[in-house]
Structure 1
């Protein structure tokens, strides 16, 4: 599933599409506003994908110290201050949808 379709589904549908890879299902949950479910599920994903999603979730939460830890585990830089959460979500989704 392409990132744009995943984002659209998360805003319009009540459940993730069937057959999504687990990384995309967790991103769907995050985009759908199900932070707790996404956070719990991302902890079971292998690094670095799980760590990247985990970092984004803590950034969304405003816990930047915890986010920085998870970015390091994901081997990703902490995003620049100007990068919106929505833009970073799309970046992650595009990378993991490949």
Structure 2
């Protein structure tokens, strides 16, 4: 799947079949559906991609302290660009997305 096809899938009623839990969470986040995205982010705290998604979601909701905790868990610095920029970076960093 390309980044462009993933973005186009946001118009569908459900996430594309067979994508990772993190990419599913990003799909819901891209549709401004915070709760299902957060549920998917909480699936594990042992994976840095889940933790980065979790950080992004808490940043999106305006909880900077909680976001900072999850950025640390993800081994990343707190993102300082826009939410849209971070969402794109997160999507493009997923192994499901072809380069």
TM over 0.5: yes
Match of 1:8 in 2: 8
Moved over 4 A (4+): none
- The TM-score with structure 2 as length reference comes to 0.88
Q: Which runs of 5+ in 1 are unaligned?
A: none
Q: CA deviation at 1:19?
A: 1.3
Match of 1:17 in 2: 16
Q: CA deviation at 1:62?
A: 0.4
- The TM-score with structure 1 as length reference comes to 0.89
Superposition CA RMSD, Å: 1.3
Q: Which has the higher helix share?
A: 1
- In 2, Cα distance between equivalents of 1:48 and 1:21: 14
1:40-89 Cα distance to aligned partner (Å, 9 max, x none):
11111442000000000000000000000000000010012xx1101100
Q: How does 1:1-98 map to 2 (within 5 A)?
A: 1-10=1-10, 12-45=11-44, 46-80=46-80, 83-96=81-94, 97=97
Q: CA deviation at 1:34?
A: 1.2
